[in-house]
Amino acid sequence: MCKLTLNKLLLSAIFLFGINSAMADDEVLKPFILASKGAGTVAEKTEQAKAALTAAGFTVVGNYSPYPDASILIVTNEELKKNAADSEHGGFGAIQRVAITKANDVVQVSYTNPIYMSNAYRMKGDLSSVAAGLAAAIGKIEEFGAKGMTAKQARKYHYMMGMEYFDEPDVLAEYASYEEAVQAVDAKLTANRNGVTKVYRVDVPGKQESVFGVAMKGASELEKYMDDRFIMSEIDFHELKSTAHLPYEVLVSGNKVYALYARFRIAINFPDLSMMGKNSFMNIMKTPDAIRDVLKKTVQR
């Protein structure tokens, strides 16, 4: 082969690689993945999903039923924890959530999209093998939950001007050390104070960081804005259910306790939610402060 022909082939390969890379960069990601839908009960589908996930190497660290006909499995594995260890505040991405929801007599199995979440939480790796593992274990029909955004857009996401980014979490409390902080938070959440209950805990290996999942239940009309069921009744209104938005997280990192501000944590899973009108952010306008206040009251020293 002559040198000129070889150079042309190399240039063509570089050109094609550039096109493919650009296409990958422009790929639209959505927050949730529908694994399956069909007849059955939530209990049956939950046990089936649990068995399949365990067989695929995932560890089920929690199970949460926020309201009737809805069950959420929280899972992790070694790759998720390693990626969390390599990432700033990576504990927020140390787990994935698998939801089993009955709607209109059909049981939907869905889960958080690991690739979308890895970008939303600015993690080092894209968790593509975790996504492949979940798809192999419980299936993949389609991504849903929003019009979608590219990885670059997700990494810089905030709902609108003046609202928080991922790297602007609330500091809920500060302790003398990580050991004191994680023990105190675990005890306080386990005690079910203020309607905030521990769902799971995952410790990030090789790092002073632990993530807790929390269930939130308001005991009165005045407390409804922090209540998981009320919040979801306002924002999760489409045919495909985004139940895997729950549960919320509290992160102990070093000697500080953090939570993502709700104007980011809710919006990243519901980025297309309108600001005003029926089923809008306006209907949960008091929720960000309500969540911050109840979490702060629960985990403070």
What is the spatial distance between Cα 79 and Cα 130, in angstroms, rounded to a whole number?
7
> What pLDDT, on the 0 to 100 scale, is given for residue 10?
43
- The pTM score is 0.90
Which residues contact residue 72 at a Cβ distance below 8 angstroms, ignoring those fewer than 6 apart?
63, 64, 65, 66, 97, 98, 99, 100, 243, 244, 246, 247
What is the spatial distance between Cα 10 and Cα 208, in angstroms, rounded to a whole number?
47
Residue 48 has pLDDT above 80, yes or no: yes
Q: What residue ranges do the domains of the chain occupy?
A: 27-299
> What pLDDT, on the 0 to 100 scale, is given for residue 219?
86
In terms of pLDDT, which residue wins out, 297 or 12? 297
What's the mean pLDDT when you consider all of the chain? 92
**Mean pLDDT of the region 68-92:** 98
**Mean pLDDT of the region 1-12:** 43
What is the spatial distance between Cα 87 and Cα 122, in angstroms, rounded to a whole number?
8
> What pLDDT, on the 0 to 100 scale, is given for residue 287?
97
Of the pLDDT bands very low, low, confident and very high (cuts 50, 70, 90), residue 19 is: very low
List, for residues 223-244, the tens digit of each pLDDT value. 999 999 999 999 999 999 999 9
Percentage of the chain with pLDDT > 70? 92
CATH code of domain 27-299: 3.30.310.70
In terms of pLDDT, which residue wins out, 89 or 11? 89
Q: Which residues of 144-175 are buried (b: 16+ CB within 10 A; e: fewer)?
A: bbbebbebeebbebbbeeeebebeebbebbeb
Beta partners for residue 52, in sequence order: none
**Are the CB atoms for 214 and 247 separated by under 8 Å?**
yes
> What pLDDT, on the 0 to 100 scale, is given for residue 24?
54
